[in-house]
Structure 1
Amino acid sequence: MGGVGVVVDYQAVIDWADEWIVGRSKTVLLAFLVLTAVFGVGLTRVSTEAGTSQFTEDSPALEAFENVNEEFTQPFEAENGSTQLIQSGRNVLSKPELVAMLTAQYRLEQREELRVASTASAAGIVAQTLDPNATTLEDQIRVLNRATSTEIEIAVRQAATNPGFRALLSKDFNRRSASASATIGIVEHAIPRGVSQEAGAEASPETDPLAAIQIRSQSVVGSVDSDIRLFGSGILTDELSSVTFDSLIIVIPAAGILIFIFLLFAYRDPVDLVLGVVSLVMTIVWTLGFMGIVGIPFTQLLVAVPPLLLAVGIDYGIHTINRYREERVTGAGVKPSMRRATDQLLVAFFIVTGTTVLGFASNVTSRLQPIQEFGVVAAIGIVFTFLIFGIFLPAAKVVTDDLRIRFHLPTFGERPLGEEGSLLGRTLSSSVVLARRGAAVVVAIAVVLTVVSGIYATGIDTTFSNDDFLPPEETPAYLEALPEPFAPETYTVTELTNFLEEKFASAEDDTVTIYVEGPLREDYALESIQHANRNPPDSFLSSGRQADSESIITVIQGYSEQSAEFRRLVERNDINGDGVPDDNLALIYDRLLDSPAREQALEFISEDRRSAQVIYSTKSGASQDAITRDARLVADRYRFDAVATGEIVVFQSIAATIFTSAIRSLATALAATAIFLVVLYRILVGRVAFGVINLFPIVVAVSLLAGTMRLLGIPFNALTATVLAIALGLGVDYSAHVVHRFTDEYDEKANAQTDGESNEDVFAALTRTVRGTGGALTGSMLTTISGTGILVLAITPVLGQFGLVTALSIFYSYLTAIFLTPSAIVLWNRYARQNPTIRAKSRWR
């Protein structure tokens, strides 16, 4: 068979490893146990991190978003150091509800440890409308208690002229009836300087002062006789951290149970089962311990790493035990059988480890740090898996079987999976029958499916949002039925965020922001903003060919309606009469910032008049991509430095980065794996062609997986974007085992014969390959799908989707390795036999 090259003698390295595994088994066991203890110490130092902030990247949109948040005050945005009091009811502007809100504020203020610096609410505004001298919460409560319902209704109508008052009320606020179904109060906390309260950072009462404050505040507010709930960044990050922990405590035991069941089928021996489970536990301890030692926090993405390592570890373990049993059933002793098994498996494991590491490590090409860390941790974990299952497990098997023989202990299930004559063996051998009867047809069908599926997959959506990481609004019944400690917490974040989105007109809801920097005192500054608003793009809401927007212009126009003197000032400096001043802007800004409208003005222009924000309303049905594209188009119209930003734009930027990362990682993994396999097979067996044959089934599997993702409506998100490169890395495992086992079987036949190879030799080698290695692959596939597919039980949607697509990738990889690889080998053999140059060099060595 063709493509003969120089074969490097690697046997000396294998013999050295065999000597340690077989000849010094107890020393190997001791060394690995010591390392496990070391990594166990690192395990205790693992921290957690959750939320979307970990996915931020350096970009103009993000920088502008941070500047907007820093420079301009939003009506009721939950900023660092603040807590929102969310009150709901039939009418939160009724006397009892107004008093209840002020009572909650007062009780929080009286608790010194809650560090309350200030409070604000619609109830306070109503009280001060009734009595401007009621400046303390105690006075405001007294005023409301003394007022009649009619007086309160009149005060509400008067307060309704204040935009700040309306911003604190739900969208169903009715001025005539003085009613609303929800309101928000703000409590500002004096957080010590130097303490980062960024949403998404690790939050716990011990490490995050704001989280501790908000958690304690919940019990205080709960004592008030009203439906008032708390929301803030501390509560958000605390729940996100809890989701990560709860997902782990559900997924890992569930995966363990399923894996245990399938391992019983694969091993059928209690001692081998214990050895396999111990090796799996060591793999997890080493990997998590490594994270603790180097300081990589455990994120929601990394929840997927333990199941992946369990999947690969199971694969290695089953192959080790099954290959060893294949030798033992021939009557060989313990050490000769293990030496023969490791002779072959260490090479196969090296190939598999190399390709899997390349698949995982390709994610370091991403510009998003969590995906980079995922690639690093997963790649390191695979190396640990190789060491534990390639060296520790065989050494432990030698020690235990020697003890069994010495003490005459019984053995169970010593027959290998897929042996000749078994139902599984006959089923697997059907792939060789297909290759014999129609190899070209099988390969042609695979190529067509790959092309069609690949083209179809180009329509996969790419998304990024907070919803990917938030727990469901309602915990599934099957999770609530779990006993302690597996039962998850009761989560409120998603319910509250949905409530806020439904009830309040937030600046982050269906809006984008243009952040403007420049000399805003220049006469053309406001005209530039007005000009950019004309003829808005399709995704923007508009009225009379003008974009619906809020800016310093709307503040000027609003205050002009309230102050005749200011209106005359604006009119004197409005040269073209369009309602927008275009002269003497410095004086207009000074007068505005010295007026009652100062606070509102500072929401749109900075104190130094060097930056401003313009908020545009967008159509609710418009896609993030269209809104982002149109926002950037509008930003280009400004005469100043202008950047499109806002949550929609930032998240769309991250989504685009995720898609780019997925394609880049896949291309990197594909190129690196192809080079690795071609070079490796040239070194090992002198045939470059087997590197290509090894990769072909996995390219088919990856294409089928991408097409299936679109068919099932699974988008590329923060975690599933990694799955194509991972599918390549994990999938090559299956074809690598088949191809390497075939090279060994065919090599033995070629060395034994004297009259040259025959076509039947290929089929005989393939039959032994798919029965022996195919049996181990079947057990590995079942357990691996269980280990990764169990992620669908995870609480967050992103992990469930990742588990599903990873399980699908394993299934496709198994099918293509078993049923496509033999046909590819047969076609290559026919080509090689018909090529005189290759045929002349058809011996392995």
Structure 2
Amino acid sequence: MSRAGRWVEHATTRLNGVIVSRPRAVVLAFLLVTAAFAGGMSAIETQTEPTEGFSEDLPEQEALDAIDREFDEPFEAESESTQLIHHGNDVLTREETLTMLRLLERIDAREDLRMGSANGPATVIARSIDPSAETPAEMRRAVAGTTDTEFRRVVRELSDDPRFSRGVSDDFNPSEASASTTITVVSHDVPEGFDDLQSIQTDVQSLASDEPADIRAFGSGVINAETGQIIADSLLIVMPIVLVLLLGFLVVAYRDPIDLALGLFALLMTLIWTFGFLGFSGIPFDQQQIAVPVLLLAVGVDFGIHFVNRYREETVKGYDAVPAMRTAADQLAIAFVIVTVTAVFGFGANVTSDLDPIRNLGIVSAVGIVFTFLIFGLFLPAAKLELDRLRERYGVPEFGTTPIASEDSALGRLLAVSVTVGERAPALFVVLLLLVGGGLGAYGAGVDTTFEQEDFLPPEEEPGYVEYIPEPFAPGDYTVTATLNLLEEEFAASQDASLTVYVEGPFEEDHALEALAEPTDDPPDTLAVGEGGRAETTSIVTVIQSHAESDEEFAALVARNDLDGNGIPDRNLDRIYAELFDSPAGSRAGQYLTDDRRGAQVEYTVESGATQSEISADGREQAERYRYAATATGQIVVFDAITAIIFDSAIQGLLLAVGLSGVFLVITYGVLEGMPMLGIVNVFPITIAVTSLVGTMRFLGYPLNALTATILSIAIGIGIAYSVHITARFIDEYRENDDVAASLRTTLTGTGGALTGSMLTTALGTGALALAITPVLGDFGALIALSVLYSFVISVVALPPALFLWDRVRSGSSAAESADPVVEA
């Protein structure tokens, strides 16, 4: 051991001496800190908007926000409005219309619902019957006073009115005056900064559910309410299962009720510290954060099993409690530090992401791992000593004090198989593993990357196991996904894939409209859907042309100011705009040109079947063709930008985690043991495990999404613990007998048994997330469990040949001098 290594060992020994000599003081200090962190738990804020934070600071999102803020979209839900979706066989009958108007009347009567106005097919019909009708009550009376024949005649006459047609489903039949779905938008008069829209929308939904018809309230508040419910329900489903699984394996691992209670209490402390930090830091608790307690429980169980198992290995040799704890603490302290630092690198690598939710997940999980180390590395041994003293004083018997595995056990013999195989042809074995891992990594490079709002929402049809979940753990009813699917089906024509370009410029300049129309002549492929390969657009230009076709006076005005005769005016644009906005087409014009004439939006129809990335790329190319500053936007473009960042975050996090872990391990083993190459040996198994995981993701169809993008770096953080523990124990044994094979067998039968127990608890515990209601959490749970299994198996399989090869290289390549053909290979 180097001088620096001896200094570190001496410092560690002194610290452990304090722990074992003053355990009561250590326990008391940790309990006081736990009480302080418990106070922060009450300050935790829950983030219920599914995709909030992902698009922050994106230029595409800023352009979309500007469109939402500056343009008038009469039938799209704004942040201060609620959509009423009326669905049935025919919702344009007189009776169904009266049902909608009665609901609006009830909403209007509730002052706390702050109804400002309502716009939809029912209100348009009522005002057509009686233009003086202003309130829902007056509209209802107007419709009630007509006959069915008169009512249907009015509906037929409104078929070409965009105020009416935009609110009815695609199956609207003008001749029959029928449609299966309508949308009515209720705006709410709320002050600036009002943050209780969720309660308003849920109250509106409650009123709608009282109606005999199928009317659903929908909006951001409803989505946020169900997202909050999903978070609570997911925790209520997952955490008990995790705890039951952990309890079952801890019973097997500890086999002693007092040790079991101590391990569970340490896990509880870990959660209290972490959630207290969450509250004090102001980081919101969102769906991604549900993974944090599961990960910390998994790592905590790993630490606990290792400590108790190593302590028992000493006690069964006849050592008293204090010397046994000193030995266990001295041997495990460095391994725990290494595991903690590499786990922080793995989890914390997500801090570099440009997406706030992923960055927050990295911060909280990294801090939580440090807390786990402190509690299980300092508190647990002190509490264990104090409890053992108390049970000895009061004569409490011990129920299980032997290690999990031994050389004579079936598990020990199984784990030691890789030693025998690895000793025979280590170089060949290492090369084979590298080829397999490299091949799987190359295959996995084609894994899909996605970002969709549906990832955060429950499926329309809940999994079959949900019906067997008893109260109070049974989840509630969810409607958001079904409503979204209904809107997608019934309003497909109006929701066809489209792209918007937001253009900023002085649109009263003579050439402004020509500049807005020019890029449509030769667009990229996915936008060339019009006649002759032109773009099919809707903009202020097309609104002017459409109004000119129906208004001769306006057409003459346009013609007088159209110098080149192409139907686009080239001068006096301010007068043309004034005439247009004062006409019946004014509301339509307001959707494509702002009041200050400084902003315009151009909507593009895109090729059916084009992918999100193709549309986004062509949209950005098209935006660059405008003379004015232009930004391609829309949900497709924003989600594509987020998808690109998710992929970059995954790769960046993986490289950072591997790089930092590798450098740290090389330096650590070089300083402590004078064996820097052991750092490379440690990283070797986890690298193969991660490449295997990526290949498996592609094969099984798991994409990189808002949460699984973190899986690669987190797999490093969790998985490297297996190789670190094996290597740390190997070094201790190797110092004593200088025999690689014997040291590995002792390591794999001793530490390997604890690793097997922690692997099972970690894999099944984190795998319980697969039962979460939302797809994004389910995928994450399945993949994290798979990564744990891969990390354990590959560490046990890959480390023996790698260590045999390391020993031969370290001993001066004696095998090469004797021309050993296997080593030369």
2:823 corresponds to: none
CA distance in 1, matches of 2:158, 2:615: 35
1:546 corresponds to: 534
2:821 corresponds to: none
Q: Does 1:17 align with 2:15?
A: yes
Q: How does 1:114-263 map to 2 (within 5 A)?
A: 114-195=113-194, 208-263=195-250
Contact 1:129 1:158 in 2 (8 A): no
1:753 corresponds to: none
* 1:695 to partner: Cα distance: 0.8
1:327 corresponds to: 314
User: Match of 1:780, as an amino acid?
Assistant: S
Deviations 1:55-83 (CA, angstroms, capped at 9, x unpaired): 12312211111101100122311111101
Contact 2:522 2:528 in 1 (8 A): no
**Greater alpha carbon shift after TM alignment, 155-164 vs 576-585:** 576-585
CA distance in 2, matches of 1:534, 1:594: 30
Give the secondary structure class of the aligned counterpart of 1:616: strand
User: If the length of structure 1 is used for normalisation, what is the TM-score?
Assistant: 0.94
Match of 2:671 among 683, 686, 694: 683
1:86 corresponds to: 85
Q: How does 1:281-430 map to 2 (within 5 A)?
A: 281-430=268-417
Give the secondary structure class of the aligned counterpart of 1:187: strand
CA distance in 2, matches of 1:697, 1:254: 30
Q: What percent of counterpart residues are identical? A: 48
Match of 2:778 among 800, 807, 812: 800
1:817 corresponds to: 795
Q: How does 1:626-645 map to 2 (within 5 A)?
A: 626-645=614-633
User: Match of 1:699, as an amino acid?
Assistant: T
Q: Does 1:495 align with 2:493?
A: no
User: Match of 1:340, as an amino acid?
Assistant: T
**Greater alpha carbon shift after TM alignment, 326-335 vs 547-556:** 547-556
* 1:219 to partner: Cα distance: 2.3
Contact 1:519 1:610 in 2 (8 A): yes
* 1:264 to partner: Cα distance: 1.5
Match of 1:561 among 549, 557, 562: 549
1:765 corresponds to: 743
CA distance in 2, matches of 1:219, 1:4: 72
2:465 corresponds to: 478
CA distance in 2, matches of 1:133, 1:194: 34
CA distance in 1, matches of 2:546, 2:130: 25
Q: How does 1:37-56 map to 2 (within 5 A)?
A: 37-50=35-48, 51-56=50-55
Give the secondary structure class of the aligned counterpart of 2:451: coil
Contact 2:529 2:607 in 1 (8 A): no
**Greater alpha carbon shift after TM alignment, 487-496 vs 474-483:** 474-483
Q: How does 1:733-812 map to 2 (within 5 A)?
A: 733-750=721-738, 761-812=739-790
Give the secondary structure class of the aligned counterpart of 1:542: coil
Contact 1:832 1:838 in 2 (8 A): no
1:672 corresponds to: 660
1:201 corresponds to: none
* 1:445 to partner: Cα distance: 1.4
Q: Closer, same or farther in 2 for the Cα pair 1:12/1:356, shift >3 Å?
A: same
**Greater alpha carbon shift after TM alignment, 240-249 vs 777-786:** 240-249
User: Match of 2:654, as an amino acid?
Assistant: L
Q: Does 1:270 align with 2:248?
A: no
Match of 1:715 among 689, 703, 716: 703
Contact 1:792 1:801 in 2 (8 A): yes
Match of 1:449 among 433, 436, 439: 436
Contact 1:191 1:209 in 2 (8 A): no
Contact 1:694 1:736 in 2 (8 A): yes
Give the secondary structure class of the aligned counterpart of 2:811: helix
Contact 1:5 1:682 in 2 (8 A): no
User: Match of 1:805, as an amino acid?
Assistant: L
* 1:502 to partner: Cα distance: 1.2
CA distance in 2, matches of 1:340, 1:770: 19
* 1:227 to partner: Cα distance: 1.4
User: Match of 2:332, as an amino acid?
Assistant: L
Deviations 1:735-782 (CA, angstroms, capped at 9, x unpaired): 0001111111111224xxxxxxxxxx1111111111111110000000
* 1:441 to partner: Cα distance: 2.4
* 1:12 to partner: Cα distance: 2.5
Give the secondary structure class of the aligned counterpart of 1:558: helix
Q: Which runs of 4+ in 1 moved over 4 A?
A: 3-6, 505-509, 836-839
* 1:562 to partner: Cα distance: 2.3
CA distance in 1, matches of 2:366, 2:74: 46
User: Match of 2:709, as an amino acid?
Assistant: A
User: Match of 1:174, as an amino acid?
Assistant: N
Q: How does 1:492-531 map to 2 (within 5 A)?
A: 492-505=479-492, 509-531=496-518
* 1:187 to partner: Cα distance: 0.8
**Greater alpha carbon shift after TM alignment, 799-808 vs 37-46:** 37-46
Give the secondary structure class of the aligned counterpart of 2:73: coil
1:842 corresponds to: none
Root-mean-square deviation over aligned CA pairs? 1.7
Contact 1:75 1:168 in 2 (8 A): no
CA distance in 1, matches of 2:44, 2:816: 55
Contact 2:124 2:163 in 1 (8 A): no
1:200 corresponds to: none
User: Match of 1:564, as an amino acid?
Assistant: E
Deviations 1:447-496 (CA, angstroms, capped at 9, x unpaired): 00111011111101111110111111122232233222211110111111
* 1:120 to partner: Cα distance: 1.4
CA distance in 1, matches of 2:207, 2:508: 48
CA distance in 2, matches of 1:436, 1:191: 75
Contact 1:311 1:788 in 2 (8 A): yes
Contact 2:500 2:633 in 1 (8 A): yes
Deviations 1:622-661 (CA, angstroms, capped at 9, x unpaired): 1110010011111111111110001110111011111111
Gaps of 5+ in 1: 196-207, 751-760, 840-845
Q: Closer, same or farther in 2 for the Cα pair 1:331/1:746, shift >3 Å?
A: same
* 1:242 to partner: Cα distance: 1.2
CA distance in 1, matches of 2:491, 2:545: 24
User: Match of 1:639, as an amino acid?
Assistant: R
Contact 1:514 1:631 in 2 (8 A): yes
User: If the length of structure 2 is used for normalisation, what is the TM-score?
Assistant: 0.96
CA distance in 2, matches of 1:438, 1:464: 46
